[in-house]
Structure 1
Amino acid sequence: MAKLLFWGFVRSQQRKQQPAAKVDLAGKTVLVLGANTGLGFEATKHFANMNPERLILACRSQSRGQAAVDKLKAETGYRKTELWIIDLADFNSVKRFGDKFEREGGRLDILVENAALMANKYEATKDGWESSLQVSCLSVPLVALLFLPAMIKTGETYSTLPKIVVVASEMHHWVDIEKSVRENPNIIKTLGSAQYCNKSGVMMSRYMLTKLLNIFFVRGMNAVNPGYCCSELRRGINPAMRFIDHLMELCLAFTTERHPETLRGEYINACEREESSDFVIGPDGVKAEERLWDEVVDILGKVDPRVTRNVKKYLSAA
């Protein structure tokens, strides 16, 4: 697929959307990250209407999460919602979340990893990483890799096929990893360093970069692009850009409900399977993918040894 240009993006937004698919989720457990607002909340509404045995809303804030639980009950009548707290900008919080699921989680059929920050300046987390990189590109893989045993056990016990879905974006087409960074012995550490992030223009493309790194991580898993949607993700941008963004929403944006969760494939855009960007599938991207996987596993294995064990046990072919 040619590099996605602006008018290609516009055409994809104008495609007729299929109605949101529904299946019977009786007896199943669904967990949604970032579930209190925007795409995450709309996903929980959709799942609630399919009657899962358990629907876990994973949110950073107790108050906003509880408000989402109450709103979900009012709008759908579903009353099996659980609120679990996780801060993806804090590795210790993610580990506690994993510990809680080991103790109380049981089966897990669907994990929706809806997590992103649209940062326009460098801010470090308490763990020392640039915040949007940690949230989207380290904590999202950390959750997936910690939950692998539960999902594999679910598949074996109930003869089903659990799904991990990462919310991606066609904006990964608009960025690559520059050669000087790819030649650095530590790609992720370079991308997350203050020195690199404070270079002119770097943070302007940070959201696109995080989505590119998501695509690399989920090669072989599902990467669902919701398209450009009416959402609260862009609430932190400056007033001038917010005005332009509002005009684009009026002209182009999908509603957040219109994206079926049952689609499968390497990369799905506007309900259709598509190739990832030229950079991802090209020789430089393939080399970067292999290195990034090794770096992510190494970084996260130091955060939590369960990552190393799970990768060796379940993903040894990778």
Structure 2
Amino acid sequence: MVILLIYHQLSIIMKYSFLDYVIGQWSALPLVETADLSGKTVLVVGANVGIGLEASKHFARMQPARLIIACRSEAKGKAALAEIEQETGYNGCELWIVDLAKFASVTAFADKFEKEGGDLHILVMNAAIALPIYQPTSDGWETVLVYLIFCARSYDSYLRFRLQVNYLATSLLSLLLIPQLVAAGRKSSTPSRMVIVSSGVLYWITPAEEVKTSSKPLKTLGSEDWCIPEHMRSRYPESKLLNLFFVRALTDRLQTITPLSAVAVTPGFCYSQLRRVWYEKPTFSFAKIALAIQERLLAWTPEQGSRQLVFGAVGGRDNEENMKGGFVSSHGRLVEVADFVLSDEGRKMQDTVWKETIDILRGVSDKIAPIVQDYLVVPDSSIN
């Protein structure tokens, strides 16, 4: 185990390989980070199952003034409330409903929070959805296919991820809640935290040339024409790359004196309800067998994965500047991001994605433009 830990420490300065991933999954995890959250408000989006639920339990044990869990299903949300209270003894948890597949639901949630939520000290954006069929959202955004490890030749078993849920709606809600996050940071001795769940798989992706050079990469990735097998191997890593781009682009544009830190997190490979559709399909598939083997050999429990979310929310306070725009690894520490993200090409694509994202979301909510104007600046390094 000592050898594994030493190798994993060294691997963060090298190209992150599949072997690094395996060794990381077999390495011991640090204990969950703790903090005094008395007087604080914590919001976890996507909290009824998995790592979101387990992170909420950890936050509940820290006794915040308010812990809001945001879920799409009221029934599942109520079950999560009961489980949190039963396991932690905390009775200050609230259930709010939001459906990230509907922009109207997201804006309504943000409006409600503006009226009833007060200041917001910690925001954890953990929601995601996977579907086994091609399906556009009601707002007209196409789905994005997910490719999972070990499935390179199993085109029949691809899953489709909603670009709207996993990226656009996540970015929309994060931006709409900036005023509440900043207000809390200004009244507190520590900056507020925005935590967005990404993934370590982004180390293995370099977007296709057509995507990198597109003036509208989101439109390209979300189009049905792009959802063909030859492009699908990279689709899931691309969706996680977008989340990291958002965190880094937002950090570049937050004024240095703004008391808000945006952080991207990879929880590691965990047992997850997100992949339940793989097992619900009655047909035989080598991909299902490969996934089951991978889970048995490598997967962490949701509680173990949740520790990274908690670290992103309350850890690293001794060096807050490093946390801003940082990427928290699956072992609860900051690591260098993928080579492509740091490259000139990556930086250019990051700025292009940011511009397209803001253009899209301005059409969704009339509050986006004022928030961008009042809280963000154009960085000197921006190409826009």
Cα deviation for residue 245 of structure 1 reads 2.1
The code of the aligned residue for 2:293 comes to: L
* 1:222 match: 263
Name whichever of 202-211 and 222-231 sits farther off: 202-211
2:373 counterpart of 1:312? yes
Q: Is the 8 A contact 1:2 1:277 kept in 2?
A: no
* 1:205 match: 234
Name whichever of 58-67 and 157-166 sits farther off: 157-166
Name whichever of 202-211 and 170-179 sits farther off: 202-211
**Unaligned regions of 5+ residues in structure 2, if any?**
1-12, 144-161, 252-261, 317-322, 380-384
Q: Is the 8 A contact 2:204 2:237 kept in 1?
A: yes
Match of 1:47 among 56, 59, 66: 59
Distance, in Å, in 2 between the alignment partners of 1:305 and 1:206 is 30
Cα RMSD between the aligned structures?
1.7
Cα deviation for residue 165 of structure 1 reads 0.4
Q: Is the 8 A contact 2:119 2:181 kept in 1?
A: yes
Cα deviation for residue 119 of structure 1 reads 4.3
Distance, in Å, in 2 between the alignment partners of 1:87 and 1:271 is 29
* 2:356 match: 295
**Unaligned regions of 5+ residues in structure 1, if any?**
none
Distance, in Å, in 2 between the alignment partners of 1:263 and 1:172 is 23
Cα deviation for residue 196 of structure 1 reads 1.2
Cα deviation for residue 153 of structure 1 reads 0.8
Q: Is the 8 A contact 1:152 1:162 kept in 2?
A: yes
Name whichever of 186-195 and 234-243 sits farther off: 234-243
The code of the aligned residue for 1:263 comes to: G
Distance, in Å, in 2 between the alignment partners of 1:187 and 1:2 is 28
* 1:244 match: 290
Deviation digits for residues 192-235 of structure 1 (CA, Å, limit 9, x no counterpart): 111112x2243443322110100111113311111111221211
The code of the aligned residue for 1:100 comes to: K
Query: Normalising by the residue count of structure 1, what TM-score does the alignment of the two structures yield?
Result: 0.94
Secondary structure (helix, strand or coil) at the match of 1:236 reads helix
* 1:268 match: 328
Cα deviation for residue 188 of structure 1 reads 0.8
Alpha-carbon distance change, 165 to 43 in structure 1, aligned in 2, over 3 angstroms: same
Cα deviation for residue 156 of structure 1 reads 1.3
Distance, in Å, in 1 between the alignment partners of 2:357 and 2:218 is 8
Distance, in Å, in 1 between the alignment partners of 2:215 and 2:327 is 28
Secondary structure (helix, strand or coil) at the match of 2:348 reads helix
Q: Is the 8 A contact 1:133 1:192 kept in 2?
A: yes
Q: Structure with the greater relative contact order (CA < 8 A, sep ≥ 6): 1 or 2?
A: 1
Deviation digits for residues 87-137 of structure 1 (CA, Å, limit 9, x no counterpart): 111100000000100110001110000022344543210111124211111
Deviation digits for residues 146-165 of structure 1 (CA, Å, limit 9, x no counterpart): 00001111111234311000
2:303 counterpart of 1:257? yes
* 1:235 match: 276
Cα deviation for residue 6 of structure 1 reads 1.4
The code of the aligned residue for 2:106 comes to: V
Q: Is the 8 A contact 2:362 2:368 kept in 1?
A: yes
Cα deviation for residue 282 of structure 1 reads 1.2
The code of the aligned residue for 2:276 comes to: R
Name whichever of 46-55 and 14-23 sits farther off: 14-23
Query: Normalising by the residue count of structure 2, what TM-score does the alignment of the two structures yield?
Result: 0.79
Cα deviation for residue 250 of structure 1 reads 2.2
Write the mapping of 1:22-61 to structure 2, written as runs, cut at 5 A: 22-61=34-73
Alpha-carbon distance change, 272 to 172 in structure 1, aligned in 2, over 3 angstroms: same
Q: What is the percentage of aligned positions where both structures have the same residue?
A: 42
Secondary structure (helix, strand or coil) at the match of 1:124 reads coil
Distance, in Å, in 1 between the alignment partners of 2:73 and 2:132 is 22
Deviation digits for residues 229-257 of structure 1 (CA, Å, limit 9, x no counterpart): 12212112256333322322222122222
